[in-house]
Structure 1
Amino acid sequence: MRAEPHRTLCDRYHLLAEIGRGGMGRVWRAHDARLNRTVAVKEILLGPGLDEDERDRVAARAKREARATAMGGHRNIVTVHDIIEDDGRPWIVMEFLTGHSLRKVVRERGPLDARVIAGWGLDLLSALSTAHGQGIIHRDVKPENVMVTDAGQVVLTDFGIATIADATALTQTGGMVGSAAYLAPERLASSPATSASDLWSLGATLSYAATGVSPFRRETVSATLHAITVEEPAGLSGHGPLNEAVRGLLVKDPARRIDAARCRVLLRAAAGEGTGTGTAVPPPPAGSRPSPGQPRGGGRLSWPVVVLTLGLASLVAAAALLVAFDPREGGSGTTAAASGAGEGEGAESTGGGQESAGEGGEDGDVPSMGGMTWTRDPQGFGILVPADWIRRVDGSAVFYDSPTDGSYLQVDLAQHPTDDEYQHVLAQEENVRASGRMPGYERLRVEDVTGSTGFHSAAEWEFTWNGDGRARHLLARNITVAPGTYYTIAWVSPEPSWAFLEEERVAALDSFAPA
């Protein structure tokens, strides 16, 4: 049985709102009644296909990994407060943090200053060294699993797939765990995860922060794996101690890779003599303009930023979720997904990964349109998507990004506070106006469209705003399929592209079929 909002666990933790999900876990913002504080609670979802032994193994692994994170107590590792049981399943109670992932910071600001990267790198290296000293291997260090808090502190999240040296009997074998683009070469050869493989992933993460591009991510899984195995990191040029540290961490032979001690010396030099750790700076507010010379990465304002603004979620939790390489990608894309199911906080995909049938496909009943592909997403829903758009996953949302102009299509599965979608949209708009976080916001329309959709409730919200000094246009269709089952389908484009993409936009929204 899955949890619902307002449920109380162990007469102490009152669940308030869902803030993240994956195939084997959901994360809730909750209130700790005993200590009168806000916490993040990870709900472990055990699939119906698991037998009793498998369910016990998953539950034992979740408890073990939560205790592992707590054991490594460190200011740069998300804190585990408690581990409880309810419905015969483990629940992990963690600190509740606000901020943005490193991936999001870089996407919005472009490559970061070398001193800042070095300072954050030192903090992350310290966190990993502490974990390694406890026999804990992270196994999935990547920009999505590094949170930059509102106070400017970096916190390493997602120890949910960590292993402990003295508990290997609980770890299943034969699976590749982690995000392919940030996996060390030896992991691709089925070697066990080690501290050295964590350091490789740290190097790839720092390279992303320094260049604005993932050093080995390519358009397909096979190309990504080939790049990790034989190619040099993309985008990395020049000299200096930061680049020397990154290159040393990305040596393909783990026996020749620099160790934590050498990395620390180089990062200290990059951060400035005697600094120890650098001065971290918080990410800019959503919609702020990057400093001169910083690339805008297509200039899109991602829907998770809009979600925060609109009040669908007021804060971002540092949530530890299971992450795995998804074998269903079949060579067409790379998905870093919560519990390996193609979803989860900070997850992303490149080059597809969805099942598709184009115009004239075998199933004659599926919607079709020239230049668009009927997509049956791993999340279960179906939708028409422009044929060359690229799939990724971030939190509770699936995105399809235009490779050219910053437009994107999003399907968000986040919970809504009410089944009345028209009232839901009005409340969102009130939050936008009150917060002032969407400069130049102008409503074009808010409309109850329940009668024309056949869903339990549906409302559309169309507006424009200015992000990074550029006019953007958004149309969101909020849907209650049945009480408690919600979707938001959003199309966002730069204003100059809006009219040009009208046919594709209408086709996408009208074709949506819920899971």
Structure 2
Amino acid sequence: MTQPQEPTGRLLAGRYRLGEVLGRGGMGTVWRAEDEVLGRIVAVKELRMTGAVDDAEKHRLIVRTLREAKATARIRHTAAVTVFDVVEEDDRPWIVMELVDGRSLADVVREDGTLTPERAAEIALDLLGVLGAAHSQGVLHRDVKPSNVLIGEDGRTVLTDFGIASVEGDTSITSTGMLVGAPSYIAPERARGQQPGPPSDLWSLGGTLYAMVEGVPPYDRGSALATLTAVMTEDLPTPRNAGPLRPVIEGLLEKDPAKRMDAAAARALLRAIAGGKALPEAATVAVPAPAEAPTVAVPAAEETAGTAPRPLLAPLRIPFRVSRRRAAMAAGAVAAVLALVAALVVWWPEGKDAGARSAGGATGPSAQASAPASAAASPAASPSPSADGSGAASEQPAPVLTSGQIPAGYTVYKDQSGFSIALPDWLTDQGPDYRATSRRFEGHGLRLVVDWQSPAGDSALKDWQEADRNAKMPNYRKVRVESVAYRNWNNAADWEWTYSGKTGTLLHSLNRGFVTGNGKYGYAIYWTMPEEVWSAPDGSLARRISFESFQPAP
């Protein structure tokens, strides 16, 4: 049973007089309304739920709505909708926003036809600007697509619907899976369950740019399964109407986020195209290479810390490097997408990321003594039962990335203790850290400590919780402490936080603890880096490759 339709003319919060319905979706209605206090016309977004929604889902939807308001309110840009107010009535939130008169970009293309490269470049510049403003505030949109772009009657471009945006440090909805956007515009790394970052939004912008000039998304195959398979495995269909936009589109739709065209390079080309200027000759044949990671002075040992949460979706992982055998790669991707579609394209919660101390090596500025043990994982984080039904992890599970799939510029480090891990060539071995059973690596301002103990302790999660309670670092701020699903190992937990180093630099740390060999070893993979490097290609890629390639001692 659905909620009754609110009558036109209702006075909301004693101030906003509801008028006509401007739009209606599965969970929301947008009203034209008048703010009778200030005498202006506004848009009011109402959250609507059916009677079949249980309390947990109701809570998730409310949090999502409030997060949309919070994310949008943080952004200062002409292409962002202004949020005026959030009010609560009928036990649900209503968002009061600026009213933009116009049509969606999807409607413009459908009704008026494809855009010229010059006009498409103008719109893309506006979107690039608002995305940059969002990213600078730690907000990822995660659903950039033509239907979420409004073109005002005055020509203004507005990016709407931050309903599934990821707000840095906000773990309020990490306990529930959620739909994360239209398959046609989902970046390959998100389709694989990897850490989303600004490059993921840029991919979606590239897909939107493609649709502006071609009239269809680049990888639309008519179903979620076929579309996501194409996103991960197929070459980009040649944009035949793009003209000078082609290098921008191809650069933004580069499958490898580390090689994807960045915002600065895209902005330079888009400005030239929008201004009718000829592009540099090189721009027609090559995408600018990503900027090198910033060189930052390596902080002292107690100054390092960091990692941002990312969805850990092991069934969706496929090798980082594209296989030379396309058929095998496609088969793996199909299996991954089948898992995704079987889950109704519902993703694991934000925060089920890789990172934390090991379930057997307590490392961290606040605890350099007893190592954590096997974190008592929640049912959602538990591995598949073993043959004997005990649920214990296998003795020597294969890494997600094998040595033949390690990206260029990475080398598999094999420690004399028996573990191995793929690391970037610029991350050098510094020897033992605070004890003999720990190994430190540093480079480009990043720091990694791999810590282990045998046998594993009782609970990494409990150790992380205790370390969080006793943390004495300057300006310490917990991001999350939680059990996580990590490959097929059990008792895994993450501790993630930020704090100020000795020089005042804001540092970000992630410590992942987990147990291998049925309790024989407890490991911690502990990353720290300056906050400004956290989402940069070198930082995010190094973390991902380390987690996916790690192999414990036998």
The correspondence for 1:259, drawn from 258, 262, 281, is 262
- Given the superposition, is the C-alpha separation of residues 55 and 270 from structure 1 closer, same or farther in structure 2, using an over 3 Å criterion? same
Number of the residue aligned with 1:45: 48
Counterpart selection for 2:198 from 175, 195, 198: 195
CA displacement at 1:165 relative to structure 2 = 0.7
Secondary structure of the residue aligned to 2:32 is: strand
Shift of 1:32: 0.9
Aligned residue number for residue 17 of structure 1? 20
Preserved contact between residue 220 and residue 334 of structure 1 (Cα < 8 Å): no
Is 2:227 aligned against 1:250? no
Counterpart residue identity of residue 63, structure 1 = L
Question: How far off its partner does 1:85 sit?
Answer: 0.7
Structure 1: 5+ residue runs without aligned partners? 276-326, 336-515
Q: Is the 8 A contact 1:241 1:269 kept in 2?
A: no
Q: Quick one: structure 1 residues 138 and 72, their matched pair in 2 at CA, closer, same or farther if it must change by over 3 Å?
A: same
Instruction: Determine if contact 1:211/1:235 at 8 Å carries over to the other structure.
Output: no
Is residue 118 from structure 1 mapped to residue 124 from structure 2 by the alignment?
no
- 2:160 aligns with one of 142, 157, 160: 157
Equivalent position SS for 1:167: coil
Aligned pair partner of 1:212 in 210, 215, 224: 215
Name which of 85, 90, 100 aligns with 1:87.
90
Give the aligned residue type for 1:19: L
Partner of 2:148: 145
**CA distance change for structure 1 residues 207 and 88 in 2, over 3 Å: closer, same or farther?**
same
CA 99–172 in structure 1, closer or farther in 2 if over 3 Å, else same: farther
Contact kept in structure 2, 1:117 and 1:209, CA below 8 Å: yes
1:171 positional shift: 3.8
Cα distance, 1:136–1:330 mapped onto 2, change above 3 Å: closer
Displacement of 1:330: 6.4
* SS at 1:84 equivalent: strand
Q: Aligned equivalents of 1:239 and 1:31: distance in 2? A: 42
Task: Indicate which of 28, 33, 36 corresponds to 2:31.
Answer: 28
Q: Distance in 2 between matches of 1:168 and 1:9?
A: 30
Is residue 180 of structure 2 the alignment partner of residue 180 of structure 1? no
Give, in whole Å, the separation in 2 of the partners of 1:172 and 1:205.
31
Once the 2 structures are TM-superposed, how far is the Cα of residue 127 of structure 1 from its aligned partner? 0.5
8 Å Cα contact 2:213/2:241 also seen in 1: no
Whole-Å separation in 2 of the counterparts to 1:148 and 1:273: 21
Distance 1:95 1:131 in 2: 18
In 2 relative to 1, CA 92–153 (structure 1 residues): closer, same or farther, beyond 3 Å? same
The 1:255–1:222 alpha-carbon spacing in structure 2 relative to 1, beyond 3 Å, is: same
Larger Rg: 2
Q: Take 1:102 and 1:334, find their aligned partners in 2: how far apart are those partners?
A: 24
Verify the 8 A CA contact 1:28 1:41 in the aligned structure 2: yes
Q: 2:469 maps to what in 1?
A: none
Deviation at 1:266, TM superposition (A): 1.4
Is 1:10–1:86's contact at 8 Å kept on the other side of the alignment?
yes
Structure 1: how far apart are the matches of 2:29 and 2:120? 31
Contact between 1:213 and 1:235, CA under 8 Å: does it hold in 2? no
The code of the aligned residue for 1:215 comes to: P
Which digits, 9 at most, give the CA deviation of each residue in 1:72-129, with x for residues without a partner? 0211011211101111211001111111111121122322111111111111100000
Distance in 1, matches of 2:216 and 2:85, equals 37
Distance 1:88 1:133 in 2: 33
Counterpart-to-counterpart distance in 2, 1:15 and 1:229: 45
1:147 to partner: Cα distance: 0.9
Query: Which amino acid letter does the alignment assign opposite residue 212 of structure 1?
Result: G
How far apart in 1 are the matches of 2:189 and 2:166? 17
Aligned length: 283
**Structure 1 residue identity aligned to 2:273:** A
Shift of 1:263: 1.0
* Partner Cα distance (2:27, 2:125) in 1: 32
Contact 2:60 2:176 survives alignment (8 Å): no
- Matched residues in 2 for 1:5 and 1:239: separation? 45
Alignment-mate amino acid for residue 237 of structure 2: A
Counterparts of 1:300-319 in structure 2, within 5 Å, are none
**Following TM superposition, by how much is the alpha carbon of 1:239 offset from its aligned partner in structure 2, in angstroms?**
7.7
Question: 3-state DSSP class of the match of 2:43?
Answer: strand
User: Counterpart of 1:221?
Assistant: 224
Alignment of 1:260-409 (within 5 A): 260-272=263-275
Q: Which amino acid aligns with 2:150?
A: M
Q: Which residue of 2 aligns with 1:104?
A: 107
**In the superposition, relative to structure 1, how do residues 215 and 88 fare at CA in structure 2: closer, same or farther (>3 Å)?**
same
Determine the structure 1 residue equivalent to 2:436: none
Q: Is the 8 A contact 1:176 1:190 kept in 2?
A: no
* Counterparts of 2:42 and 2:77, CA distance in 1: 18
Q: Which amino acid letter does the alignment assign opposite residue 114 of structure 2?
A: P
Query: Among residues 61, 64, 75, which one is paired with 1:61 in the alignment?
Result: 64
- The C-alpha deviation readout for 1:289-339, integer Å capped at 9, x for no partner, is xxxxxxxxxxxxxxxxxxxxxxxxxxxxxxxxxxxxxx9x969x999xxxx
2-structure distance, mates of 1:202, 1:244? 14
CA distance change for structure 1 residues 100 and 237 in 2, over 3 Å: closer, same or farther? same
What is the percentage of aligned positions where both structures have the same residue?
47
User: Residue 229 of structure 1: CA displacement?
Assistant: 1.2
Question: Once the 2 structures are TM-superposed, how far is the Cα of residue 238 of structure 1 from its aligned partner?
Answer: 7.5
1:274/1:93 Cα in 2 relative to 1: closer, same or farther (>3 Å)? farther
Partner Cα separation in structure 2 for residue 65 and residue 15 of structure 1:
21
- Please state how far the C-alpha of 1:51 moved relative to its aligned partner: 4.0
CA distance in 2, matches of 1:238, 1:48: 48
For the 8 Å contact 1:111–1:209, the answer to whether it is kept is yes
In 2, distance between residues paired with 1:218 and 1:131?
30
Q: CA deviation at 1:157?
A: 0.9
Instruction: Specify the SS of the correspondent of 1:166.
Output: coil
Letter of the 1:73 counterpart: R
The Cα shift of 1:176 comes to 3.8
| Equivalent pair of 1:213/1:234 in contact (CA under 8 Å) | no
Distance in 2 separating the partners of 1:102 and 1:269: 22
**Residues 15 and 29, structure 1, Cα contact 8 Å, conserved in 2:** yes
Separation in 2, partners of 1:330, 1:218: 14
Q: Normalising by the residue count of structure 2, what TM-score does the alignment of the two structures yield?
A: 0.48
Distance 1:68 1:131 in 2: 8
Task: Report what 2:76 is aligned to.
Answer: 73
State the 1:71 CA deviation: 1.3
- In structure 2, the residue matched to 1:4 is 7
Tell me the SS of whatever aligns to 2:94.
strand
**Contact between 2:179 and 2:345, CA under 8 Å: does it hold in 1?**
no
- Residue 137 of structure 1 aligns to which amino acid in structure 2? L
Q: Distance in 1 between matches of 2:125 and 2:81?
A: 16
Distance in 1, Cα, partners of 2:138 & 2:202: 15
Alpha-carbon distance in 1 for matches of 2:264, 2:136: 13
Change (3 A) 1:56 1:130: same
- For the residues of structure 1 that align with 2:51 and 2:174, how far apart are their CA atoms? 20
Deviations 1:35-75 (A, max 9, x none): 11111111112343444454334323322220210110211
